């Protein structure tokens, strides 16, 4: 009886964790798409999330360039983004914007020091809006999220 009870408790805990992770993922997707949908002009809009993890010091900051919808996304990222594993912020954002869910490679870790993903035709984002995710860990871990209209410069 105790093995069954322990198994039930562990299963419930795992289900709660998976549910919380899915909820956080969905809220990230909503925040990203809401931000992208505020893009109305020819000039791209961006937020820059910078994280640091080293020894006993860790922090994260987000720059919205005083753009009000960017401040909303930054507020979300300040609370929910990963500090210790900043590449997870890129992977999670990419999973939100991709048409297909990226496949897991189990125990493989892809380590890129600078990568940019550009997404077009994003479900839930106005037609003609592109979203770029630029991750760079060469001078601090930064994730720049940019929404731009097709054909706009930069």
User: Count of domains in the chain?
Assistant: 1
pLDDT digits (tens, 9 = 90+) for 35-83: 999 998 889 999 999 999 888 889 999 999 888 999 999 999 999 999 9
Predicted TM-score (pTM) of the model is 0.78
Residue 118 domain flag: yes
Query: Is 154 within a domain?
Result: no
128 is a domain residue: yes
DSSP-assigned letters across all residues of the chain: -HHHHHHHHHHHHHHHHHHHHHHHHHHHHHHHHHHHTT--SSS-EEEEEEEEEETTEEEEEEE-TT-HHHHHHHHHHHHHS-SSSTHHHHHHHHHHHSSSPPPP-TT-----SEEEEEE-S-TTS-TTEEEEEEEE-BTBEEEEEEEEETT---
For residue 73, being part of any structural domain is answered with yes
Domain containing residue 125 = 2-149
């Amino acid at each position: 009886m105790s093995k069954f009870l322990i198994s039930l408790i562990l299963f419930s805990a795992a289900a709660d964790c998976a549910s919380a992770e899915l909820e956080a993922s969905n809220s990230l997707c909503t925040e990203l798409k809401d931000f992208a949908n505020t893009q109305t002009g020819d000039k791209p809009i961006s937020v820059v999330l910078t994280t640091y993890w080293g020894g006993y010091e860790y922090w994260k900051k987000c720059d919205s360039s005083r753009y009000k919808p960017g401040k909303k996304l930054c507020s979300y990222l300040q609370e929910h983004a990963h500090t210790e594993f900043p590449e997870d912020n890129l992977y999670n954002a990419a999973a939100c914007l991709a048409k297909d869910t990226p496949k897991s490679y189990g125990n493989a870790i892809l380590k890129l020091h600078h990568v940019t993903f550009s997404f077009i035709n994003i479900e839930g984002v106005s037609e003609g809006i592109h979203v770029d995710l630029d991750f760079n860990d060469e001078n601090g871990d930064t994730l720049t999220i940019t929404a731009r209209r097709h054909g706009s410069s930069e």
